[in-house]
Amino acid sequence: MKRILLVSSNITTEPFPVYPLGLAILASALTGRGHIVDQFDFLVAGESDETLRERVRSFVPDYVCLSVRNLDNCDSLATQAYPAIAKRLVDVIRGCCAVPIIIGGSAFSIMPEEFLDFAGADYGVVGEGERLLCDLIQELSAGKTPSRLLRNTGLIPGSEMISPLYSRELTGFYMESSGMINIQSKRGCPQKCIYCSYPDLEGDTLRFRDPAAVVDDMERARTDFGIDSFFFTDAIFNDREGHYLLVAEEIIKRGKPYRWTCYIRPQGLRRKEVALLKRAGLYATELGTDAACDRTLRALGKDLTFEEVLEVNNAFVAERVPCAHFVMFGGPGETRETAAEGLANLEKLKHTVVFAFTGIRILPNTPLHTLAVREGIIAADASMREPVFYHSPLIDRDLLYSMISDSFGARRNRIFPPEISQAKRDILLRYGFRGLLWDTIIRFPKDRVMASPED
């Protein structure tokens, strides 16, 4: 039995503070092996180095595990890079104890060799950590000398994914600051978006948890901590296999109301499915639209059309469920003409919020990285630790910025540049609102004469 301190280094609060679900899953796995585990969140601690020192000294760990969720905030206009924070926390920990430091998390797993050397940790865990970390600590405790960098040889089946061990300290903070706690019903992503690392991190095959186990987690969180509001962190909630509908049906069957939200792919979702999700507690959703016209959608590797996006938006409007579209301009193939077409298309999206971004973060081992090298935007051996964004060479950045700003104007439901959403969020928080918050600005039409749910 060992004493293990888990540390979340994430300080991102845009668009809202996010509960460190990975930390809770690791805590559950380690506790299941008989270890004593403490969970420390650097954001909850007010980003205080001294508070971290105090926790290390009081807990007296045998191992410290540092989780790194984000490389940056993905906003090319106001970039924040986070690897330096991880490096600083490693130094803080080393300054007050001489125990092995293990680093992992989604951001670390994107560029593990470079990140491990930069941060100066002793060991690194790439990908899903609940098995690898337990095995690593077992080897170290037995006096063995494992590899400095450990990788999964196979993905964990959905049936073997364990429930998170939520922390009272952390749940209290996140329920107060964002009003919801993360939960997961599946892992993996079969899509081929050229900029995304999800398939590399979670695999390109969906792995489903038992719907009953998912809702058990929700019930346990309610019983233990009074939590009844959740964010499903699945890369895509509405999978084509229909597992998401089974989760919704299980929630309804239990007869206990929850509020929840999720990421939706804007394709293949009709009003009757939205109606079911709403009955199960879906109060708002975020749509991974990503581009605003068919040409730029194809260029990003997305096998959907804007007409499909519009149909899904209309289904949510028909059921009075607020949705928000997140759209990136300036990707491969973007021209003045495609930008104008995309902005015109966005005007067709009624009673919804649209968040616009310019440029796309280039991540290693993605098709976008290959394209950027081929176009001479970056060198093949360039470090990607600090954020580098792809901007189409076919349109001037200032012109693109001006076009979006002119189109969006000062409308409350059109957000650009991204940082203005934080100012609006802060105002709503002061008035006591919690949750996604952007859903509070949507106004649905008073006329309720619409198609039936079967349409």
**Residue 337, H or E segment:** helix 336-346
Burial of 304 (0-12, 13-18, 19+ CB in 10 A): buried
Q: Write out pLDDT tens, residues 42-100.
A: 999 999 999 999 999 999 999 999 999 888 655 555 556 688 999 999 999 999 999 99
Q: Write out pLDDT tens, residues 356-395.
A: 999 999 999 999 999 999 999 999 999 888 889 999 999 9
**Structure tokens of 416?**
């650009």
- Averaged confidence pLDDT in the chain: 92
Q: Write out pLDDT tens, residues 174-199.
A: 999 889 999 999 999 999 999 999 99
**pLDDT (mean) for 252-276:** 96
Residue ranges per structural domain of the chain: 3-151, 179-441
**pLDDT (mean) for 206-226:** 97
Q: Write out pLDDT tens, residues 289-305.
A: 999 999 999 999 999 99
Residues of the chain with pLDDT > 90: what percent? 82
The reported pLDDT for the residue numbered 446 is 75
**pLDDT (mean) for 213-238:** 97
What is the DSSP secondary-structure string of 274-289? HHHHHHTTB--EEEEE
Give the strand pairing for 259-264 and 229-232: parallel
On the question of pLDDT at 201 being above 70, the answer is yes
- On whether the 179-441 domain is CATH 3.80.30.20, my answer is yes
Burial of 53 (0-12, 13-18, 19+ CB in 10 A): middle
Instruction: For tokens 């509960």, name the residue.
Output: 19
**pLDDT-derived band of residue 451, with 50, 70 and 90 as boundaries?**
very low
In 10 A of CB 407, how many CB atoms? 19
Q: Write out pLDDT tens, residues 134-145.
A: 999 999 999 999
**Structure tokens of 446?**
């008073």
Cα–Cα nearest to 82, from 67, 101, 95, 94:
67
Fold (topology level) of 3-151: Rossmann fold (3.40.50)
**pLDDT-derived band of residue 428, with 50, 70 and 90 as boundaries?**
low
**Residue 421, H or E segment:** helix 419-430
Cα–Cα nearest to 110, from 124, 127, 123, 122:
127
Cβ–Cβ under 8 Å, residues 8 and 42:
yes
The reported pLDDT for the residue numbered 453 is 40
On the question of pLDDT at 209 being above 80, the answer is yes
Cβ–Cβ under 8 Å, residues 76 and 358:
yes
The reported pLDDT for the residue numbered 454 is 39
**pLDDT-derived band of residue 449, with 50, 70 and 90 as boundaries?**
very low
**pLDDT-derived band of residue 422, with 50, 70 and 90 as boundaries?**
low
Cα–Cα nearest to 323, from 351, 304, 290:
351
